Amino acid sequence: MSMDNTSKETKGTRWLLACGAIGCPLFVIVFLMAGTFRSDYSALRYPISSLSIGDFGWIQATNFIITGLLILVFAIGLRRALQSGIGAVWGPRLIGLAGIGLVGAGIFTTDPVFGYPPSAPLVLAQFSTHGHLHDFFSIFVFLGLPIACFVFSRRFATLEKREWALYSALTGVGILVTFVLAAIGFSQNPGFVDFAGVYQRLSIIIGWTWITLLAMHSLRNPSL
């Protein structure tokens, strides 16, 4: 391979990696703004997915899809950058799976549960097909991403990058713990329901921050 081709390939990989640093902050900014401008929506109580419901629901649905595609592209770049070693294959694949989960969550709108819209019951007696598919794809995000964190934690430990190994492990635990707390709240448990939306946002922000920092780290250290 010529030097020009190698340079182009390296530059192309860097563009792919940069998508991870762009997509996650964009996602957070959009859902924060979308929640702010809805008078009947409470970010403390309701899930992010509920922003996909209603006249302006297309904004959050598009946010899911665009961010999912950017994360998927980042995963492709990460796979190209990590040529060998522990987690070189499954780490990027799991991150890509989370991206696919976001795309699916954007295509299939969640059911109106947990009191939003206000006219909807707290718990539906019957769920729709698109609601089931939304929940199915969401699993890819909330399970795929923490597992990816643990895979990369092992990789970083092998490379003797202890700070990144610890950070990745704590991120995986943080995503799972806050996700469980959110799920308990969304089931209308009196001790958690008032802050269920906060727990879910923490889970997302913890995971998205890790992806963003990993993308920035991989741009500075392509071999990771």
For residue 3, name the pLDDT band (cuts at 50, 70, 90): very low
For residue 223, name the pLDDT band (cuts at 50, 70, 90): low
Asked whether residue 222 carries a pLDDT value surpassing 70, the answer given is: no
Cβ(103)–Cβ(72) below 8 Å: yes
Average pLDDT over residues 36-48: 90
For residue 116, name the pLDDT band (cuts at 50, 70, 90): confident
* Range of lowest pLDDT (71-85, 91-105, 163-177): 71-85
Asked whether residue 147 carries a pLDDT value surpassing 60, the answer given is: yes
The span from the CA of 170 to the CA of 189, in Å, is 26
Asked whether residue 9 carries a pLDDT value surpassing 60, the answer given is: no
Average pLDDT over the chain, rounded to whole? 91
User: What is the predicted pLDDT for the residue at 140?
Assistant: 97
User: What is the predicted pLDDT for the residue at 6?
Assistant: 52
> pTM for the complete prediction?
0.92
Cβ(81)–Cβ(61) below 8 Å: no
Asked whether residue 58 carries a pLDDT value surpassing 60, the answer given is: yes
User: What is the predicted pLDDT for the residue at 1?
Assistant: 46
Average pLDDT over residues 174-199: 94
For residue 32, name the pLDDT band (cuts at 50, 70, 90): very high
For 31, 34, 51, 114, 202, the CA distances from 54, given in Å and listed in that order, are 14, 12, 8, 15, 24
What is the domain partition of the chain in residue ranges?
A: 7-113+127-220
Average pLDDT over residues 140-151: 97
